[in-house]
């Protein structure tokens, strides 16, 4: 999750916009959660560069969805995608490389609107503990519990990601409640959705790009927050708002079986 410091918050109160660089504020976090096992989160992917750790979700065997701010200004050659293991890059982790990065063209780093990217793998991600997850087409109703998973830090203020996957259950917020509590701090757009149990349970540093799951479907993508488990809820990219875009990218950029056979 991309987190914002107190100093940046003061700037935001003046400008009503986020104006910080992703490389300075990206954080990983599962606060108030518990250790899990990849067999319960088979869609969960670890997205890494030499300096950053993010999460992602496997939508098709060749395609991972993550947050745009995780891969902004990143070369595809520098990305590593790990799946199928509870421990970060452990001996059972399946490694795949990326040959295409597609960031939604209307992604805005200042507002974090449309914070989503599609990653095409060089070969299919398959394994005993690997499964795809469907993209939700309907917005999750408020107050229901949703599941967030990742390798992010488990303590607010910590920049150290954990080695084993963690999971937390948090309640969804209504759009009106989220906009109200963020009023004068950050503009909550239609592409965003909010979830957290204030002061107790939230996503955190290093969880950026990871999954928010409801009824076995991907409903949100970890985007940003103001600290971890504060009074402000975590903000996620709303999957129903970007679903058609992602599926169109997959359709447009997935090699056909005939082209593979002829090559």
Q: What is the pLDDT of residues 131-155, one digit of tens each?
A: 999 999 999 999 999 999 987 654 4
Tell me the C-alpha distance between 106 and 102, whole Å.
12
- What is the tens place of the pLDDT at every residue in 17-68? 333 333 333 343 454 557 888 999 999 999 998 888 899 999 999 999 999 9
User: In this structure, are residues 255 and 62 in contact, taking their beta carbons and an 8 Å threshold?
Assistant: no
For residue 99, indicate whether it is catalytic.
no
For residue 92, indicate whether it is catalytic.
no
For residue 208, indicate whether it is catalytic.
yes
Task: Of 93, 147, 152, give the one whose Cα is nearest residue 125.
Answer: 93
Q: Which domain does 215 fall in, by range?
A: 134-239
Q: What is the pLDDT of residue 20?
A: 34
Q: What is the DSSP string of 89-134?
A: T-TTPEEE-EEEEEE-TT-BTTTTBT--EEEEESS----TT----E
Between 247 and 52, whose confidence is greater? 247
User: Which of 57, 69, 186, 202 is the catalytic position?
Assistant: 69
Report if residue 152 sits inside a domain: yes
How many domains does the structure of the chain reveal?
1
Q: What is the pLDDT of residue 203?
A: 61
Over residues 90-109, mean pLDDT: 94
Report if residue 138 sits inside a domain: yes
Report if residue 41 sits inside a domain: no
Report if residue 122 sits inside a domain: no
Report if residue 71 sits inside a domain: no
Tell me the C-alpha distance between 211 and 58, whole Å.
10
Q: What is the pLDDT of residue 204?
A: 59
Report if residue 229 sits inside a domain: yes
Report if residue 45 sits inside a domain: no
Q: What is the pLDDT of residue 256?
A: 79
User: Which of 57, 86, 115, 158 is the catalytic position?
Assistant: 115
Long-range contacts of 41-45 (CB under 8 A, 24+ apart): 41/149, 41/165, 41/167, 41/211, 42/84, 42/129, 42/130, 42/131, 43/130, 43/131, 43/132, 43/133, 43/211, 43/218, 44/83, 44/149, 44/150, 44/165, 44/210, 44/211, 45/81, 45/82, 45/83, 45/125
User: In this structure, are residues 185 and 9 in contact, taking their beta carbons and an 8 Å threshold?
Assistant: yes
Q: Report the CATH number at residue 176.
A: 2.40.10.10
**Range name among 33-37, 38-42, 164-168, 203-207 with the lowest pLDDT average:** 203-207
Report if residue 104 sits inside a domain: no
**For residue 116, pLDDT beyond 60:** yes
């Amino acid at each position: 999750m991309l987190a914002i410091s107190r100093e940046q918050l003061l700037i935001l109160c003046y400008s009503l916009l986020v104006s910080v660089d992703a490389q300075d504020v990206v954080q990983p976090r599962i606060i108030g959660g518990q250790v899990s096992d990849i067999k319960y989160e088979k869609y969960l992917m670890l997205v890494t560069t030499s300096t950053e750790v993010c999460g992602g979700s496997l939508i098709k065997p060749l395609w991972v969805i993550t947050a745009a701010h995780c891969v902004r200004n990143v070369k595809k050659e520098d990305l590593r995608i790990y799946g199928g293991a509870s421990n970060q890059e452990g001996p059972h982790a399946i490694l795949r490389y990326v040959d295409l990065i597609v960031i939604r063209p209307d992604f805005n780093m200042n507002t974090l609107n449309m914070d989503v990217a599609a990653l095409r793998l060089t070969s299919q991600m398959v394994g005993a503990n690997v499964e795809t997850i469907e993209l939700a087409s309907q917005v999750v109703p408020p107050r229901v519990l949703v599941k967030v998973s990742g390798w992010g830090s488990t303590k607010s203020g910590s920049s150290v990601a954990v080695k084993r996957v963690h999971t937390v259950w948090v309640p969804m917020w209504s759009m009106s409640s989220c906009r109200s509590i963020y009023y004068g701090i950050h503009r909550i757009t239609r592409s965003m959705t909010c979830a957290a149990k204030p002061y107790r349970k939230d996503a955190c540093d290093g969880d950026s790009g990871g999954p928010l799951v409801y009824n076995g479907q991907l409903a949100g993508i970890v985007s940003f927050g103001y600290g971890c488990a504060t009074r402000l809820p975590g903000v996620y990219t709303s999957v129903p708002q970007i679903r058609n875009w992602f599926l169109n990218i997959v359709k447009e950029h997935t090699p056909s079986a005939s082209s593979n056979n002829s090559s």
